[in-house]
Chain A
Amino acid sequence: MAFADSANPLGPSGNLPRRKRVDFAMRSSATAAAMLAVAVLVIVIASVVAKGASALSLDFFTKAPPLDGAGGGILPEIVGTGLIVGIATAFALPIGVLIAIFLSEFAGARLAYPIRLALDLLNGLPSIVIAVFVYGLLVLGSGQTGMAGSIALAIIMVPLIARSSQEVLRLVPQTQREAALALGMSRWRTTLGIVLPAALSGIITGAVLAIARAAGETAPLLLTSSFFTPNQPVTGNIFGQAIPNIPIEIFNQLEAASPYDHARAWGAALVLVAIILMVSVTARVLLGRSRRKMQR
Chain B
Amino acid sequence: MDEITQREDGAAPPLMAPLAVSARDSSGLTSREVVFDMSDLNVYYGETLALRGVNMQIYKNVITAMIGPSGCGKSTFVRSLNRMNDSIAGFRVTGQALYHGHDIYGSGVDPVEVRRRIGMVFQRPNPFPKSIFDNIAWAPRILGLRANLNERVEKALRGAALWDEVKDRLKQSALGLSGGQQQRLCIARAIAIEPDVLLLDEPASALDPISTASIEELMHSLKRDYTLVIVTHNMQQAARVAERTAFFSLDVTDGKRTGVLVEYDDTEKLFTRPADKRTEDYVTGRFG
Contact = CB atoms under 8 A, between A and B. Distances in A.
A184 B115 contact: yes
Contact of B124 (A175, A184, A193): A175
B112 A185 contact: yes
A183 B124 contact: no
Contact of A183 (B87, B89, B127, B190): B190
Given A184-B113, A185-B142, A189-B142, A179 B119 contact: no
Contacts of B119: 182-184
Given A182-B82, A183-B190, A193 B138 contact: yes
Interface residues of B, number: 27
Contacts of A185: 112, 139, 142
Given A183-B189, A184-B117, A185-B139, A178 B122 contact: yes
B116 interface: yes
B235 interface: no
A193 B189 CA distance: 15
Given A108-B89, A189-B142, A193-B142, A183 B122 contact: no
Contact of B122 (A175, A186, A189, A198): A175
A108 B89 CA distance: 8
Given A178-B122, A179-B126, A179-B186, A184 B143 contact: yes
Contacts of B127: 179
B194 to A, nearest CB: 11
Q: How large is the interface on A (under 10, 10 to 19, 20 to 34, 35 or more residues)?
A: 10 to 19
Contact of B84 (A108, A182, A198): A182
B183 to A, nearest CB: 12
Contacts of A194: 128
A13 to B, nearest CB: 51
B18 interface: no
B71 interface: no
Contact of B115 (A108, A175, A182): A182
Interface string A219-259: 00000000000000000000000000000000000000000
A1 to B, nearest CB: 47
Contacts of A176: 126, 128
A240 B129 CA distance: 47
Given A109-B89, A184-B112, A194-B128, A179 B117 contact: no
B193 interface: yes
A181 interface: yes
A77 to B, nearest CB: 42
A17 interface: no
A136 interface: no
B190 A181 contact: no
Interface in A163-220: 173, 175-176, 178-186, 189, 193-194, 197-198
A183 B192 CA distance: 9
B122 A179 contact: yes
A184 B186 CA distance: 14
A198 B129 contact: yes
B261 interface: no
Given A175-B122, A198-B129, A184 B193 contact: yes
B120 interface: yes
Interface in B187-238: 189-190, 193, 195
A272 to B, nearest CB: 38
Contacts of B129: 197-198
Most buried by B among A179, A180, A183: A183
Given A108-B89, A109-B89, A178-B84, A183 B139 contact: yes
Given A183-B138, A185-B142, 19 more contacts: A176-B128, A178-B120, A179-B126, A180-B128, A182-B82, A182-B115, A182-B120, A182-B190, A183-B115, A183-B116, A183-B139, A183-B193, A184-B112, A184-B143, A184-B195, A193-B138, A193-B142, A194-B128, A198-B129
27 contacts: A108-B89, A178-B126, A179-B189, A180-B139, A181-B84, A181-B87, A181-B112, A181-B115, A182-B82, A182-B115, A182-B119, A182-B120, A182-B121, A182-B190, A183-B115, A183-B138, A183-B139, A183-B190, A183-B193, A184-B113, A184-B117, A184-B195, A185-B112, A185-B142, A189-B142, A193-B142, A197-B129
